[in-house]
Amino acid sequence: MHTVTVIGASLAGLGAARALRTEGYTGRLLLIGEEHHRPYDRPPLTKAFLTGTVDASALALADDEETAALGLTLRTGARAVRLDPRARSVTLATGEEIRTDGVVVATGATPRTLPGPVPGGVHTLRTLDEARALRAALTAGPVRVVVIGGGFLGAETASSCAALGHDVTVVETAPLPLVPQLGEAMAGVCAALHADHGVRLLTGTGVAGLRADGAADAVTGVTLADGRLLPADVVVVAIGVRPCTDWLADSGLPLDDGVICDAGGVTPLPQVVAAGDVARAAGARGEHWTAATEQAACCARNLLAGRTVATCRSLPYFWSEQYGVRLQFAGRRAPGDLPRLVEGSPDDRSFLAVYERDGRPTAALALNRPRPFARLRRELGRAADPVG
């Protein structure tokens, strides 16, 4: 291949570019990103960046020196609108057509939004620009914040808002947040973190709509499905994401909640692979930092080989930081798996628990127990891949 184009200047996109060079690719390498920023790290956006502990420069994943060393042509502010595999081309929103021999799809995901008009003061939090806008709204003085969605993104955002001294309410449709990920017992422990820090958690109700001051075009409240009205100066919508696949509608790629590919990121189209949040690999999308880095390395190798020679089957892992508590999870927990406390106490918000099925460990959860968790994570990894 003479030219490889990576669409998405994301963690996965940059990781794929790095991996291509590591695997020996010496041809032309392009990295195309829609945002007007170099690749940056997203997890701090809800934490240290939102609270003002770090600035944007600390989020950069690559500097000019590395870009030059990779021989990478980086195009920011460039949106891909079409992939034509027959013509081996990618078309940008400007009309420019890029001829390419191989394509890595790493366009990530975009936040889901509420239906209807969006007044001022309503935010999503996925990009650096969105984080900057929310941070500005939170530094103008004490405000009433309503976070819609109690998942990891919503919980982390609520934690940062509370740390800044704001009045915070979290609204969650489910009876309890994070039950699919952690199970009811452990999800209850994590949900209690909100109350520990003066944040109200309202569960079992959705959002019927937003109230706004028409003259100022500014949000004034959130109306819940049960009729309650929550006054609000700032609203953060954290109800999940959808993969960025609109630009691939007529590409011939199979699309269903992401780009359908195998465990190595290989798609049915020759010389087209996918990685990161946009990839639905082996039937699932992994919206986590570790999954993106591992998929990027795997799909780069397979792209150069022209077939699947490597698969990404490592133990799933994710982490979160909320209210000064580091939450870590690893493994494959099924709905019937029961947690067993190994050390510490949920009452102290510091413990290690292992999930078991028929007496065998399947996953682990830790709150503020990084060292013992790391050991258990390694043990779970060896058990899951005894020859690896």
pLDDT in tens, 129-152: 999 999 999 998 899 999 999 999
Q: Are residues 133 and 218 in the same domain?
A: yes
Query: Among 213, 237, 261, which residue terminates a domain?
Result: 237
Separation between Cα atoms, residue 363 and residue 347, nearest integer Å? 21
Tell me: do 90 and 53 sit in the same domain. Answer: yes
The CATH number covering residue 184 comes to 3.50.50.60
Of the candidates 216, 3, 46, which has an alpha carbon nearest to the alpha carbon of residue 135? 46
Q: What mean pLDDT value characterizes the chain?
A: 95
3-state secondary structure 86-136: CCCEEEECCCCEEECCEEEECCCEEECCCCCCCCECEECCCCHHHHHHHHH
Does residue 258 fall inside a structural domain? yes
Q: Is residue 134 part of a domain?
A: yes
Q: Domain for residue 49, yes or no?
A: yes
Q: What pLDDT is recorded for position 329?
A: 97
112, pLDDT greater than 70: yes
Is residue 101 within 8 Å of residue 4, measured between CB atoms?
yes
C-alpha span between 377 and 354 (Å, rounded): 10
Instruction: State residue 344's pLDDT score.
Output: 97
Host H or E run for residue 46: none
Residues 95, 145 share a domain: no
* Rounded alpha-carbon distances, angstroms, from residue 170 to 14, 96, 293: 34, 44, 31
Is residue 289 domain-resident? yes
Prediction pTM value: 0.95
How far apart are the C-alpha atoms of 337 and 334, rounded to whole Å? 5
DSSP 8-state code for residue 319? E
For 50-93, what is each residue's pLDDT tens digit? Answer: 999 999 999 999 999 999 999 999 999 999 999 999 999 999 99
Q: Based on the fold, state whether residues 122 and 230 are members of the same structural domain.
A: yes
Do 227 and 147 sit in the same domain of this protein? yes
Q: From the CA atom positions of the chain, what is the Rg in Å?
A: 22
Count of the separate structural domains present in the chain? 3
pLDDT band at 339 (very low <50, low <70, confident <90, very high): very high
Q: Is pLDDT at 388 greater than 60 in this prediction? A: no
Q: Is residue 340 part of a domain?
A: yes
Is residue 318 one of the residues assigned to a domain?
Answer: no
Same domain, yes or no: 97 and 173: no
144 within a domain of the structure (yes/no)? yes
- One domain, residues 60 and 125: no
pLDDT per residue over 234-257, tens digit each? 999 999 999 999 999 999 999 999
**In terms of domains, do 174 and 143 share one?**
yes
Looking at residue 384, its pLDDT comes to: 67
Q: Nearest-5° angle of CA 238, CA 242, CA 243? A: 140
Angle between helices 289-305 and 11-22 (to 10 degrees): 40
What are the two backbone dihedrals, phi and then psi, of residue 159, each rounded to the nearest 5 degrees?
-60, -45
**Where in the sequence is the domain holding 223, given as residue range(s)?**
113-237
Amino acid of residue 95 = G
pLDDT for position 229: 98
Contacts of residue 115, defined as CB under 8 A and 6 or more positions apart, other chains included, come to: none
363 lies in a domain? yes
Please indicate, yes or no, whether residues 202 and 155 belong to a single structural domain of this protein.
Answer: yes
Q: Which of 210, 237, 264 is the last residue of a domain?
A: 237
Nearest Cα residue to 10 out of 154, 110, 134 = 110
Instruction: Write down the pLDDT at residue 386.
Output: 43
Residues 233 and 340 in one domain: no
What is the per-residue pLDDT across 167-204, written as a single tens digit (0 to 9) for each?
A: 999 999 999 999 999 999 999 999 999 999 999 999 99
Domain end, chosen from 237, 258, 291, is at: 237
Q: Are residues 212 and 261 in the same domain?
A: no
Domain identity same for 22 and 103: yes
